[in-house]
Structure 1
Amino acid sequence: MNIQVKKAQKIQLCCVFLLVITLCLYFIYAQAKGLTWQFDDFANLKGLATADSYQGIINFVFGGGAGPTGRPISLLSFIPNVNDWPNNPWGFVQVSLFWHVLNSLLVFFIAYKLFSIQDKFQNNAWWMACFTTFFWCFSPMQVSSILMPVQRMTLVSAFFSLITLAYYIWWRIKYAGKSSLWQLVTMSLFVSLGVLLSLYSKENGVLTILYIGLCEILLLNDLAKPVYKKLWFFWSKLSLIIVPLFLLLYGLVTWKGITNNFNYYREFDLSERLATELIILFDYIKQIVIPRAIDFGPFHDDYKIYDWSMYQTWLALSFWVLIIISVVYLFIKNPKTVWVKFLTFSILFFLAAHLIESTFIPLELYFEHRNYVAILGVSLLIAVLIAESLYVVTSKFIVWFFVFIYSAIQIYSTQQVTSIWGQPLVAAELWAMRHPESARAIQTLSWQYRLYDFEDASIKILNEFYQKHPEHISVGMGTMIQMCSTSAHSPKNLKVYFYGLIDHSSKVKAPLELTTGLASLGGLIREGRCTGVALDDYQNFLYKLLTLPRVQKNPKIRHHINYEIALNYQYSGNQQLYIDFAKKAFYDYPSLSIAQIIALKLFQMHENQAAMRWIDESLSYAPTNAAKKSWIVSLSSLKNSIKQTDESLKIVDKSHE
């Protein structure tokens, strides 16, 4: 009876703790209620505008381009916010907070189970799990994952990753020593499903397998084996090495594409990325353990690029090599010492969580949300260090006093960060001051100035930045767009500025910038709002962009430029050249929307047979992932409509005969 009472009390305490966590999280994040959209939101969420029907939902969920998988599970999680788009980013954050609370519950379960199987921590497992959860969910490093609407992808992927890890830990403890082959099969199927769901939410979900391997080898290895020792030895070691082997194989198979991506897409090469990430990983740890509210934010595109000729790179490499060797050595020498096991696990778990986003994959250098799951290892370690201190320090009051102060710093830092996000203009000015070399920070500040009708200030900061950094052509185009949108600039000034864009186009280091604002600028020129800049000038600019080596090697960039050229021909009345260049844009980067537009244009030109042939051809370019169904449904429906119209016209023609 006493055991049942204690269990009931623990359940009640857990519920109270979860309720308190939820209320505190909502209160702190409610400080950001006035927040606005961020740079990746429109590109990934604009499809919500038409996701109010079955076909619209299918197109949105299976039409994602944020990663190789399309991330349909994450995109599905945005459907509840269809009515919040595009005017209510706070509505997105509220749903994201719900996911964060679910993840916090899973973190508590994982921590409690891991601590409760350690003899030394059994009596302290509950409060240690509470502190782990508190540190994890209130870390200021988590703020951007929740307040950037599109980063719900991170939260959803983490949910499936954490629930898979939680299930594995529960299964491992429950079936220790049972020697059940069927249970091994059941567990393997559940883990596989969880990894797939996490993977199709965000690609780093595949790391869940590695998390399980680290848990097994470092924290669960003392438990009796759940199946035959040889079979379990194979399963556990496979879970530890399969992801690194997969990444190695992926790197070898796609090596040419990876190097081309670095050479023609990024402003840094592979060597510089590896050197810089060594330092960034150290910065992440520093920000997690000793947070400074002023250093958090969405803009880190100005992060200094390091190479192997700099002493900082070698210091960082020496630091990580020393840390890894030391913790592995400690674990080998003291495999039964609890704090050593958690220290080793925490360091390796943190590094494992960055195995994809901080190695050779040609992604951007620095994002805070990459630490969303990685913080779990640090959180567990801090709880262990507190527990160990209570055994060592004579006065427990001193330990709890410092824990209280440290916890207060965490909460205060998070509250400061969220309150900054809740004041978009103040946040934009602060981020621009902290990151004066960040093109995104300057563009965001310019946008905020424009919202408050500070047009002159908006143009001024863009122009000043562009004069210093002509390689950031997106800023130059943003300046041009605003100049065209006001009547305060003469045709001569607009023409001179536009020719400056043409001259500086060859200096671009990150070709993606060529597409940022290109459609808006083209629209203004075609509407005649950029007086002094003729359509021929813009067309020559686009043709020059196509001659740039980095553009010639980058089909995604050519896609945008070719479609702008097509729109210019459409505006001038040359429908055939419009179709030709629209097809070039499609071949460079197959898009369902462009396939539909071309078919409809051919239909409008009464070339019904050509329209149907084009639909058949474009279907051969449909992606092989889950988005293929969306292509087939949409284009087949369009083809049937054209076919029915064509047959109706033939019947009418025959009746006239």
Structure 2
Amino acid sequence: MSRPVFVIWAAFGLLAALAVWVYAPGLHGSFLFDDFANLPSLGATGPVQDLPTFWRYVTSGSADPLGRPLSLLSFLLDARDWPADPFPFKRTNLCLHIVNGLLLWQLLRGLGLLIHPEDVSPPGRTRVERAALLAAGMWLLHPLFVSTTLYVVQREAMLPTLFTLTGLLLWLKGRIAFASGRPGWGVAWLMVGLVGCTGLATLSKANGLLLPALALAIEVTLPRRAHERLEPWKCAAYKTAMTVLAVIPASVIGVYLLYQGWHGVVHGISAIRAWSLGQRLMTEPRVLLDYLDLLWLPRPFTPGLFNDHIQASVSLWSPSSTLPALLAIATLIIGALMLRRRLPAVAAAILFYFVGQSIESSSIALELYYEHRNYLPALLMFWPLALWLSDVPQVHAQAAFGRQPDPRHWRLKSGLALVLLIGLAAMTHARASLWGNTHEQALLWAELNPASPRAQVNAAQAEMNAGHAELAVRRLVPALRRAPDESQLALNLLAARCQLGNLDPATLESAAGALRTTRDTGTLLVSWFQRAINQTELSPCPQLDLDAVERLLLAALANPRLTDQPGRRQDLYYLQGYIALARRQPDLALAYFDRALDQQVRVTAAFQQAALLGSAGYPGHALAHLDHYQAKRDLEAQPVLGMPRIHAWVLARQAYWEKELARLRNTLLADQRNQNSPAR
């Protein structure tokens, strides 16, 4: 290994070591939010210790049509059951982040040598490589990506980046093979890169489908001299391969996004969203500009994981920043296309960024804002700045490129590059330290997101866990006054007052009012009501007895936003049965459980409800509920195409539910016999 090569690899080693140091304080943080929605599948059907449990686990994903099985598979590196220790998960995420930084360095190095003449002087080539390393270092140490790297579940954003970078490197290798007169090898590398890696990236998360489009975003910015290196027949063969492997797949994705936009505007979207798809499309330019602000004006602390405070645009003039943001995004994209030959690195960074955002920030009705959506799109973001700091021109000035830079300018730019890296590392270290302290993190996020109900609830829960319910009450009262239909605020205020022992009728009525008007809350109602019902037996809050809990549940049942949905009706009837069971009214509980099952016939619901009846001491009622399920079983809906369908096939192939139901039935029959046998 030559000395310059050794030096640059040693420099990357120092960057990697610096990344480990700045992230180390955050490795001891806890799981957060969506971690608890996704990771428990590790133990949902038992510890993943054999092939049957392995296949049940890997096919259990439902976030995308394909279920993100590679992301699920990667979690097995860290645990085989749930609950689990978060440290191994965060450690693996950090290792993956560093590997992505390494691949990014190699990609930018290859792009730099492709853009610039092959016959530049060795010092010029060294500056290209230095620029690539500097750009990769700025990305690796940027504080914005702490909320991806230390948020365990966002490995689902990191793995597609790994496969996208690998695919782009293989695409470059294929392009070089075409230029060298080896079209067969060129096609092979393109197939592996643009087809194989796209498949792997997509099996990690759906935005992996963008890999061919990202390759095209770079391709259109390459200077003419990069194309002139291909002889006419090589150029024709390369264009044909790229048309088949990149242009057509990218066009299919574009058509799909247009269809999603048309369908969402014409037919509407899920009622769980507080905005229409048209409003989302007007809002996203504002969101993208805010992302760019966070990327180019980094700061140690940001709003983090909370996005429910984002105000959707209701017209091009409300908020007033809507139209300017839309025009700014359009100007950036058009400008990049017009200047792509003169400023290829700048154009590539801009086009790559917006193509990378095209799935999650356009016509699919996802939430409006998440910081982790920048992880992949921002890969090329700092490359133009690094080229300038390394005295690498982006234009044809080959003679100027071969000259040594002015020593004074070189020292100044080198110093600036060092300051940038140190500044980014310091901010990332500060932010990672916050991620290692869940209590302080919750309080700061609430301070940075005063209009976010989720942030205020998260902080209030942290205060209650620390034994300061009075602080939680002080926080939640004004928040609920601003948003009286937010059930999460109302229910947590109720819990805080219970902890203080002074639950008053006004708080109960506020909670009931919120439940009558709230939007779909997902699993919040079931989890809260189950805890509340269980706690009535312990009497930590005498005012919140079963009668009070039932009044709150009846308020939720009066909310058409909830009862219009079969799944949510099932939850509410299930909770009525749960209350009846707590009152030792098994006949009523069975009636409610049967009614809940009728809303959506699901074996999981039948099994859970029968198990509850059995564990409460009513095996005969549990058997009757299983019989009710058997009578309705033909009405059970089959999953749609995709991973849910495969998961259902795996369960059927293993006869999983037949075995579980038979085991439960045998247990219930034995319990019933014991109940009916004469006392000894």
Q: TM-score range by the shorter chain?
A: 0.7 to 0.9
Shift in Å, 1:136:
1.2
State the match for 1:241 in structure 2.
Answer: 251
Aligned length: 627
CA shift in 2, pair 1:472/1:57, >3 Å: farther
State the match for 2:221 in structure 1.
Answer: 218
Distance in 2 (CA, whole Å) between partners of 1:60 and 1:208 is: 27
1:21 aligns with 2:15: yes
User: Do the aligned residues in 1 keep the contact of 2:69 with 2:204 (CA within 8 Å)?
Assistant: yes
Q: Deviations over 1:220-239 (max 9, x none)?
A: 64552466266246335325
Give the letter for the 2:210 counterpart.
L
Task: Show the 5 A alignment for 1:140-159.
Answer: 140-159=143-162
State the match for 2:317 in structure 1.
Answer: 309
Distance in 1 (CA, whole Å) between partners of 2:661 and 2:501 is: 49
1:549 aligns with 2:549: no
Which one of 79, 87, 91 corresponds to residue 88 of structure 2?
A: 91
CA shift in 2, pair 1:396/1:197, >3 Å: same
Give the letter for the 1:301 counterpart.
D
CA RMSD, 1 decimal = 3.3
User: As a proportion of its length, which structure holds more helix?
Assistant: 1
CA shift in 2, pair 1:297/1:644, >3 Å: closer
State the match for 2:657 in structure 1.
Answer: 635
Which one of 152, 168, 173 corresponds to residue 170 of structure 1?
A: 173
Distance in 2 (CA, whole Å) between partners of 1:646 and 1:545 is: 33
State the match for 2:604 in structure 1.
Answer: 593
CA shift in 2, pair 1:21/1:553, >3 Å: farther
Shift in Å, 1:483:
3.5
Q: Deviations over 1:526-556 (max 9, x none)?
A: 7655533453553453344244332244445
SS at match of 2:79: helix
1:134 aligns with 2:137: yes
Q: Percent identical across equivalent pairs? A: 21
State the match for 1:655 in structure 2.
Answer: none
State the match for 1:204 in structure 2.
Answer: 207
Shift in Å, 1:59:
3.8
Distance in 2 (CA, whole Å) between partners of 1:10 and 1:127 is: 10
Give the letter for the 1:627 counterpart.
H
Distance in 1 (CA, whole Å) between partners of 2:595 and 2:183 is: 62
SS at match of 2:485: coil
SS at match of 1:357: coil
Distance in 1 (CA, whole Å) between partners of 2:658 and 2:366 is: 36
Distance in 1 (CA, whole Å) between partners of 2:492 and 2:21 is: 37
CA shift in 2, pair 1:628/1:644, >3 Å: same
State the match for 2:371 in structure 1.
Answer: 368
Q: Deviations over 1:486-531 (max 9, x none)?
A: 36225xx2x4422221123344256446567344334435765553
CA shift in 2, pair 1:523/1:364, >3 Å: farther
CA shift in 2, pair 1:326/1:628, >3 Å: same
Shift in Å, 1:143:
0.5
Distance in 2 (CA, whole Å) between partners of 1:20 and 1:506 is: 57
Shift in Å, 1:207:
1.3
User: Do the aligned residues in 1 keep the contact of 2:130 with 2:390 (CA within 8 Å)?
Assistant: no
Which one of 486, 491, 510 corresponds to residue 500 of structure 1?
A: 510
Shift in Å, 1:630:
4.6
Which one of 293, 297, 311 corresponds to residue 300 of structure 2?
A: 293
CA shift in 2, pair 1:273/1:561, >3 Å: same
User: Do the aligned residues in 2 keep the contact of 1:622 with 1:628 (CA within 8 Å)?
Assistant: no
CA shift in 2, pair 1:182/1:585, >3 Å: farther
State the match for 1:653 in structure 2.
Answer: none
SS at match of 1:218: coil
State the match for 1:357 in structure 2.
Answer: 360
Give the letter for the 2:531 counterpart.
S
Which one of 41, 46, 56 corresponds to residue 40 of structure 2?
A: 46
Q: Deviations over 1:257-308 (max 9, x none)?
A: 6x232xx212223233223221121111121112121335223332333332
Shift in Å, 1:328:
1.6
Shift in Å, 1:346:
0.9
User: Do the aligned residues in 2 keep the contact of 1:477 with 1:521 (CA within 8 Å)?
Assistant: no
1:194 aligns with 2:191: no
Which shifted more, 597-606 or 299-308? 597-606
TM-score under structure 2 normalisation?
0.83
Distance in 2 (CA, whole Å) between partners of 1:387 and 1:637 is: 66
SS at match of 1:246: helix
CA shift in 2, pair 1:351/1:457, >3 Å: same
State the match for 2:101 in structure 1.
Answer: 104
Q: Deviations over 1:72-123 (max 9, x none)?
A: 2212211232279546323321111111122112111211111122235634
Give the letter for the 2:491 counterpart.
M
Shift in Å, 1:559:
4.4
User: Do the aligned residues in 1 keep the contact of 2:286 with 2:325 (CA within 8 Å)?
Assistant: yes
User: Do the aligned residues in 2 keep the contact of 1:179 with 1:227 (CA within 8 Å)?
Assistant: no
User: Do the aligned residues in 2 keep the contact of 1:612 with 1:642 (CA within 8 Å)?
Assistant: no
SS at match of 2:64: coil
Q: Deviations over 1:192-230 (max 9, x none)?
A: 232222222212111112112212332364552466266
Shift in Å, 1:443:
2.0
Q: Deviations over 1:307-351 (max 9, x none)?
A: 3223311111221222222222223xxx3x4xx111111111111
Task: Show the 5 A alignment for 1:256-405.
Answer: 259-261=268-270, 264-295=271-302, 297-307=304-314, 308-310=316-318, 311-331=320-340, 335=341, 337=342, 340-388=343-391, 394=406, 395-405=409-419
SS at match of 1:295: coil
Distance in 1 (CA, whole Å) between partners of 2:637 and 2:613 is: 16
State the match for 1:538 in structure 2.
Answer: 549
Q: Deviations over 1:630-656 (max 9, x none)?
A: 53232133256579899999xxxxxxx
User: Do the aligned residues in 2 keep the contact of 1:70 with 1:627 (CA within 8 Å)?
Assistant: no
Gaps of 5+ in 2: 118-123, 394-399, 672-680
Distance in 1 (CA, whole Å) between partners of 2:612 and 2:641 is: 23
Which shifted more, 52-61 or 440-449? 52-61
CA shift in 2, pair 1:375/1:268, >3 Å: same
CA shift in 2, pair 1:222/1:451, >3 Å: farther
Task: Show the 5 A alignment for 1:479-490.
Answer: 479-484=493-498, 486=499, 488-489=501-502
User: Do the aligned residues in 2 keep the contact of 1:471 with 1:507 (CA within 8 Å)?
Assistant: yes
State the match for 1:652 in structure 2.
Answer: none
1:115 aligns with 2:115: no
State the match for 1:422 in structure 2.
Answer: 436
CA shift in 2, pair 1:46/1:598, >3 Å: same
Give the letter for the 2:471 counterpart.
A
Distance in 2 (CA, whole Å) between partners of 1:14 and 1:619 is: 58
User: Do the aligned residues in 2 keep the contact of 1:198 with 1:205 (CA within 8 Å)?
Assistant: yes
SS at match of 2:179: coil
User: Do the aligned residues in 1 keep the contact of 2:174 with 2:188 (CA within 8 Å)?
Assistant: no
Give the letter for the 1:109 counterpart.
Q
Gaps of 5+ in 1: 650-657
